[in-house]
Copies of this chain bind each other. A is one copy, B any other.
Amino acid sequence: MELAEAKSKFIEAWGKLGSEWGINRTMAQVHALLLTSPVAMTTEEIMEALSISRGNANMTLRDLIGWGLIEKQHKAGERKEYFFAEKDTWTIARQVAQERKKRELDPILKVLNELSAVKGDEKDPEYKTFKTSITSINKLAGNVNKTLETMLKAEENWFWGSIFKIFK
């Protein structure tokens, strides 16, 4: 397999994975393109490489910046904006985890906490089942949340630090 083919396979696979995880396909593809590009690219070049429209390219690039996965670069004497991707895999994983925590885990935790507070008749099976399920999901979600917070904050933490080394 030659490089160009390999690169487009990667872009395709990354796009598919993204869409399965609720990340827009184009966003994942642009990310893959920049991840495998040795140089920063312009909007024009990205549009060209992936056959996408200007509008789509622009919105996607802004979203990726919002996720902290790519950055703008200004070249001296040039008007155009160049984009390049953060290439450290661990940092990428952390950014994605952080963003999804903020967007999804935090809101559901809020709901679960509210629902945990609902009072009812301990003898009512409906109530008991509800209470038990909510409490146990809430506990797991809370633990995931705490763990993520620790991971995202301090890689230096002696305990997690040693676990991270396994992954890197």
Q: Which residues of A pack against B, CB within 8 Å?
A: 1-3, 6-7, 9-10, 13, 17, 19-22, 35-39, 87-90, 93, 103-104, 107-108, 111-112, 114-115, 117-118, 120, 124-130, 132-134, 136-137, 139-140, 143-144, 147, 166-168
Which residues of chain B are near A111, meaning CB under 8 Å? 9-10, 13
B115 and A20 contact, CB distance less than 8 A: no
Which residues of chain B are near A22, meaning CB under 8 Å? 19-22
A91 to chain B, nearest CB (A): 11
A8 to chain B, nearest CB (A): 11
Which residues of chain B are near A114, meaning CB under 8 Å? 1, 9
User: Which residue in B7, B90, B126, B133 is a CB contact (below 8 Å) of A130?
Assistant: B7
Compute how far the CA of A93 lies from the CA of B144 in the bound complex, rounded to whole angstroms.
11
- A143 and B126 contact, Cβ closer than 8 Å, known pairs A13-B111, A22-B21: no
B130 and A3 contact, CB distance less than 8 A: yes
- A10 and B134 contact, Cβ closer than 8 Å, known pairs A21-B21, A93-B140, A114-B1: yes
A39 to chain B, nearest CB (A): 8
Compute how far the CA of A125 lies from the CA of B127 in the bound complex, rounded to whole angstroms.
63
B35 and A104 contact, CB distance less than 8 A: no
Compute how far the CA of A36 lies from the CA of B127 in the bound complex, rounded to whole angstroms.
9
Please give me the 5 A-B residue pairs with the lowest Cβ-Cβ distance, nearest first: A38-B125, A38-B129, A13-B111, A6-B118, A89-B136
A137 and B89 contact, CB distance less than 8 A: yes
A21 and B130 contact, CB distance less than 8 A: no
